[in-house]
A and B are shown apart, each in its own frame.
Chain A
Amino acid sequence: MEMGKSRVIALLAVASIVASACSSSTATPTTGATTGPGASTAVVPNAAPSATGLPVTDSTVYPRAETLYTTGKQWGPPSTWNPLDAGNYATGTLGLQYETLFMYDPLKDVYTPWLAESGTWDSAKTTYTIKVRSGVKWSDGSAFTSADVAFSILAAKNPALGSNLWTTGGVTAADATDASTVVVKFTNPAYQEWGQWLYNSAIVPKAVFEAKNTADILKFTNANGVGTGPYTYKTAAADRMVWVKNPNWWATAALKLDVKPKYIVDIVNSSNNVALGQLLQGGVDLSNNYFPGVKSIVDGGYGVTTYFAGVPYMLGGNTATLIPNTTKKPLDDPAFRKALATAIDTNDIVTKVYGSIVTVADPTGLLPNFSKYVDVAQDTALGFSFDTAKAKSMLAAAGYKAGSDGFVTNKDGSAIKLTLEVPDGWSDWMQAESSIAASAAKAGIKIDPQHPDFNTVVLNRNRPDATTAPKFDLQINNDVQIGNTPWTWYDYVFRSPLPFGTSENRNYEGYKNADAWALVQKLDNTPVENVAAMKTITSALQKIQLTDMPVIPLWYNGIWAQMNNTVWTGWPSDKGNQVLPATWNGYWNMGAVLMLTQITAVPPAK
């Protein structure tokens, strides 16, 4: 009797999972057959009843040969498909479902017209005219027009979206003058930031978003929304995001582009060992996770490749930078900071911690795609490189004498012991931290590596108010990602007035230099095509940076990408399709969408 009961309960419990799994998927409309031409064509061929009388369930089973499995972007359950919620939207919301006016390729520094056919400045460079692409349709079948573009620019006014387009960005008006033209008016245009907006911000359907454009716009989750992109929403669960191909994608006709996978399943990151197992067993085709020991993965016969076949394997995506608290002794002294920069053996981090999948950063901190802005002669003259003996002599020359324990002391004779913080669990950075402490110690600088939890690192880093100094001594940070303009990097280093509070995201080191900030603003107000003027300004900024050393660039953190060639091949590489192989936010519209048109399915082995 009791056994019977238990069995019933066990069965009920299993049934409850089935029911809940089903109900959770019906809560967000997924059946597709009722919504959008894309989804319905995907479902209809399978809707015929099978011989058993039950409906064939192919739309709920993704054939391996038609499905691309990705992972590495999503750290939590997909929970919003609102492309205006830039920090949180599910993998591919911008790029696969929603698109931008332009696509920007950082590797070639080229803007490609995407939802815009063209964008041109007038001769005074204060009015920007966008010709909207014709023949584009939203996935619900309605026409894409200039009204959608004008609305999307207008939506950036909403304070909840955290855009400064209409304030310091300089936009004063955005009007759809006819069905295919949008005229944007500026005063004192921030050309660099506008250039970024063009390829980084989603064009959303006015019909859907206009009613949502309130202070609560971020609460609009927009599941199964209406987009222009190559994919539409299929389903989502706590551990995955599934996209299905939009057969009516405009670029197929207009640009002769065809995305190959019918389904894209993006798997939410669990642990590194699970992700690695999935990649090696061929359960994942593209992994944007960081794995130690990439060389052994590539050489291991698993069919896994990377962008470069050998060292450094990965493209650089951001600059890992040592942030000194320039308001504290002795880090307020440029001479000490330069000596510290010279004392760090970054090559040791690159080879020992990373196994050479990253490269040593240029002293200017500019990513390799900005190398044309580096004033090489000045960089060579003023830049730094690892040299323990030189670091020692620099410290001595600056008046820092060694104490009884061999470590240098402050000029007043007090001991120097600097803490260096990185977030707990960031294993590569934790190892890097030890390496920094070890090489600095050889030059006589005492560094105590610490790894508090992430929120504590942020707490110690942020200024509580405009005048109070933050607590930290040294931290590593890499907030600035690859993009279209070196302005972002200089804004990050020199931002003035000093930001503070919970939202602080620039100038962590607390460095004040009015001349530098004036140059940064001047750079922002320089048209993106005026490379010569940009070079002049960035050269002057580099001089300040290399002389005063407000931050110490260490290495280029990579665009981690491991591609399995078992099911899909033709992945991005330096020898073949040169696009960024990343599913992260902002990367699809930096060319990664093209990767989906370039890969090909491997024919099944006979």
Chain B
Amino acid sequence: MRRYFGRKLFTYTLTFFIAATIDWLIPRFMPGDPVAGLMAKQGGLSPEGAAALAQYYNNLFGLDRSMPEQFINFWIALLHGDLGRSVYVHGRPVTEAIMGAIPYTLALLIPAILLSWWAGNSFGALAARRKWLDNTVLPIGYILTATPYMWLGLVLAFVLGFSLRIFPLSGGYGFNLEPALTWRFFTDLVAHWMMPFLSLFMVMFGGWAIGMRNMIIYELESDYSRYLEALGAPQGLVRKYAFHNAMLPQITGLALQLGVIVAGSLVTEIVFSYPGIGMLLFNAIKSEDYFLLQGIFLFIIIGTLLANFVVDIVYIMVDPRTRVGMRGGTA
């Protein structure tokens, strides 16, 4: 057990170090000087004053040091939870900007991932056994899973937001409201959340449903199922075994999909101007805010690694063979 986690932890740490280093390097390879860009947007300053201000910004962003020094400072700051300062939010800490956006993204991602995974797998398993479900859910699933998140988002926005006016088109909550612990604010928040959630949920739902349906059919056709059937085991028991075995690739699939899902949620947020990490990333790119970009990527890296780690643990709990493997036995 300890060796297994030790190995995993080492791999994750190494991955993190390499990813974070690349993340640090990329903005520094980009052409242009972010401070010069910032200064050019100031306007109206006297040249003498502009020079003083440029000096201030270089110091604020830590750009007045040598590259190796900047790299070491980056890691020291990172270990203190400091991701530097953002150009897009005018010199405020990057962590502040990211922390403000995280709740929105998590509130979209976590329910969308878990609900779609649960619902997709349940429907898929069901469809494998019911002809009429198979004939209806499957084609819909194929269409949904082939749909890009943002395109479905645009369709939803047009139908539910623009034509039917059921849900608001954009934003996290209404511009006429202030956050408060009131029913009105809560319902407004949920109304704004609904469409981005649906566009993520529906696409993922399709994918899981198809995957599960195929897996179940495969498992029911496999030798152990036939053997169980031949032994006269009840149908329910056979299906239970088939379901458990079909589940494993789906968990692996979830781990593999996480990166794609995060990317999808980013695009979805942009479609709905939903104030999460994706919107922040979009704005960071638009304002060429390398520090914020770096911070967001780092957040995505950490998030994806963490989620993978969780899936690893879940796998141990679900698949007895992993447990056996950890004790040094062979399955």
Chain A interface (Cβ within 8 Å of chain B)? 2-3, 5-6, 9-10, 13-14, 16-22, 24-25, 30, 54, 57, 59-64, 67, 69, 75-77, 79-80, 85-88, 159-164, 167-168, 193, 200, 215, 218-219, 221, 234-235, 237-240, 242, 265, 267, 270-271, 274, 277, 283, 425, 452-456, 458-459, 462, 479, 481, 495, 499, 501-506, 586
Contacts and interface: CB of A to CB of B under 8 A. Distances in A.
Contacts, number: 228
B287 A76 contact: yes
6 contacts: A13-B111, A17-B189, A62-B177, A76-B88, A455-B36, A459-B31
B194 to A, nearest CB: 11
A503 B51 contact: yes
Contacts of B273: 239, 270-271, 274
Given A57-B185, A79-B91, A502-B33, 10 more contacts: A9-B114, A59-B178, A76-B88, A76-B287, A77-B100, A80-B91, A164-B48, A219-B91, A237-B179, A238-B275
A429 to B, nearest CB: 14
B88 A21 contact: no
Contacts of A14: 107, 111, 189-190, 193
B170 A18 contact: no
A18 B185 contact: yes
Nearest to B37: A455
Contacts of B301: none
Contacts of A167: 48
Contacts of B43: 87, 479, 481, 505
B179 A24 contact: yes
A79 B176 contact: no
Q: 6 closest pairs, A vs B, by CB? A: A455-B32, A162-B49, A503-B50, A10-B111, A164-B46, A60-B178
Output the residue of B35, B47, B170 with the most chain A CB within 10 A.
B47
Output the residue of A6, A85, A502 with the most chain B CB within 10 A.
A502
A79 B118 contact: no
Interface stretch (B52-60, B76-84, B309-317): B52-60
A6 B178 contact: no
B253 interface: no
Given A160-B56, A238-B101, A455-B33, A274 B185 contact: no
B136 interface: no
B179 A21 contact: yes
Contacts of A60: 177-180, 182, 185
Interface residues of B, number: 71
B91 A164 contact: no
Q: Per DSSP, are chain B's interface residues mostly helix, strand or loop, or mixed?
A: helix
A458 B189 contact: no
Contacts of B104: 17
A60 B181 CA distance: 10
Contact of B288 (A9, A453, A499): A453
A6 B32 contact: no
Contacts of A238: 97, 100-101, 275, 280
A55 to B, nearest CB: 9
A22 B288 CA distance: 30
A274 B50 CA distance: 34
Contacts of B108: 13
A67 B176 contact: yes
Output the residue of A17, A79, A88, A265 with the most chain B CB within 10 A.
A17
A62 B42 CA distance: 33
Given A60-B177, A455-B31, A462-B36, A6 B114 contact: yes
Nearest to A499: B47
A286 B25 CA distance: 42
B103 A20 contact: yes
Contacts of B280: 238
B159 interface: no
Contacts of A265: 175-176
Contacts of B190: 14
B155 to A, nearest CB: 16
A21 B189 contact: yes
Contact of B35 (A9, A168, A235, A502): A502
A586 B44 contact: yes
A90 B110 CA distance: 33
Contact of B170 (A76, A163, A274, A495): A274
Output the residue of B33, B37, B179 with the most chain A CB within 10 A.
B179
